[in-house]
Structure 1
Amino acid sequence: MVRPVHVHMDQDFGVTGSHTEVELLVDVPADRLWEAITDLSRIGDWSPECTYAGWLDGWSEPVVGARFEARNRFAGGLVTQVVCLVVAADRPFSFGWKVFGGSPDTEEHFATWHYELRPAEQPDRTVVRQSFTHGPGDSGARAAVRADPGNAAALLRGRLDQLRRNMTVTIEAMVRDIRNEGA
């Protein structure tokens, strides 16, 4: 006998706190990479998913408390718009933000992104770590696992794998552009 699966909105399926990251050694100095990472006008040139980002509320640089908006395009044509709140801005070592589907004043964040940069042992090289952690707020990943709870683990693993690939592509594209600008 097949019984229907009842999914409650408060079931998490392991989404909150799920995490992925990449760490790469790149051939550019930390200050140059910091400039690229925090130049929101360029993210659409590098990211396979984020097509646009821009400062809000008169902000023009990364400062804790600053807000920016971002637009993402997913497979199948889905486009989303989010508001981000800067939670780490320590030039040239750390840049991080929380992502909200609406206002950071009234909603829980559904993701936290963070870049950590540290000089490598070799001159003009940087170790960059980019990380993503799902927050408690409502997100596309949460909706996907609610819709198919039997495949929740595979769906979440697939999304984290996709994010890791996208992070690598984005960092490599930034580095390529930085190196081409210096040539």
Structure 2
Amino acid sequence: METACDIVVEADPGRLWELVTDIEVPARFSPELRRVRWLDGATGPALGARFEGHNRSEVLGEWRTESHVVACEPPKVFAWATVDPDGRFGGDDVDPAQPMSTWYFELQPRDGGVLLRHGVRLGPARSGLTLAIESRPEKKDAIVRYRLAELRTGMEATLRGIKDLAEG
């Protein structure tokens, strides 16, 4: 399962790259991501760098993720795979090659700006979505639609926030 949102930002790609690779920026706008911090002494984006995220939703409550940077190609792609370090969702695999989700920003230069895409691919590891489907398997399609819409709402808010920062 996957979803993505786009926005055109009238800004220099270098400025936009600084914003999308600052892991604290999405926490300013996302309704779910509350706070983040780099791990292992990392101070910025690099392939293999790790960061911790703290999330909250009405349905799932609070949980922690660990993210591994899996793509860092300035100023084109920044992506990270999230794992469940606490086994909150019933999995015990914290291998970023088998993540709960993989998030990304893609930047494509356009006349006068940049097309910025923010997206997520869910799975293959267990997540809150897995728990929800297991508790109500007869509602699987509705649960998936709801979760993807919820993720799109958060991504759209994040994109609007980044656009405002970049153009402001």
TM value normalised by structure 2: 0.89
After TM superposition, give the deviation of residue 41 of structure 1 in Å.
2.8
Q: Distance in 2 between matches of 1:162 and 1:105?
A: 26
One-letter code aligned to 2:67: C
The structure-2 alpha-carbon separation of the partners of 1:167 and 1:72, relative to structure 1 and needing over 3 Å to count, comes to: same
One-letter amino acid matched to 2:124: P
Alignment check: 8 A CA contact 1:32 1:178 kept: yes
Letter in 2 for 1:90: E
Cα deviation for residue 104 of structure 1 reads 3.3
* Contact 1:23 1:128 (C-alpha < 8 Å) held by counterparts: yes
Residue 118 of structure 1 is matched in structure 2 by 108
Indicate the SS of the match to 2:42: coil
**Structure 2 partner of 1:39:** 22
Change in 2 beyond 3 A, CA 1:134/1:106: closer
CA contact (8 A) 2:9 2:167 kept: no
In structure 1, stretches of 5+ residues that fail to align are 1-17
Out of 53, 69, 73, the residue aligned to residue 36 of structure 2 is 53
2:51 corresponding residue in structure 1? 68
How many Å apart are 1:42 and its aligned residue?
Answer: 3.0
Shifted more, 74-83 versus 148-157: the winner is 74-83
The alpha-carbon deviation at position 79 of structure 1 amounts to 1.2
Distance 1:77 1:21, change over 3 A: closer
2:114 aligned with 1:147 = no
- Relative to the length of structure 1, the TM-score reads 0.82
What CA distance in whole angstroms lies between the structure 1 residues aligned with 2:138 and 2:81?
A: 29
Tell me how large the CA RMSD over aligned residues is: 1.8
1:94 aligns with 2:77: yes
Query: C-alpha displacement at 1:53, in angstroms?
Result: 1.2
* Structure whose residues are more often strand by fraction: 2
Q: Distance in 2 between matches of 1:143 and 1:158?
A: 14
Distance 1:107 1:88 in 2: 12
Give identity over the alignment, percent.
31
Where 1:98 maps in the other structure, the secondary structure is strand
Cα distance in 2, alignment partners of residues 147 and 59 from structure 1: 38
Higher Rg: 1
Counting matched residue pairs gives 161
Query: What secondary structure, in the 3-state scheme, does the structure 2 residue paired with 1:176 have?
Result: helix
Alignment check: 8 A CA contact 1:107 1:137 kept: no
After TM superposition, give the deviation of residue 107 of structure 1 in Å.
8.6
Task: Report Cα offsets for 1:123-180 as digits up to 9, x if no partner.
Answer: xx11011111111111000110110000001101110011111101101011212333
In the alignment, residue 114 of structure 1 is paired with which amino acid?
A: Y
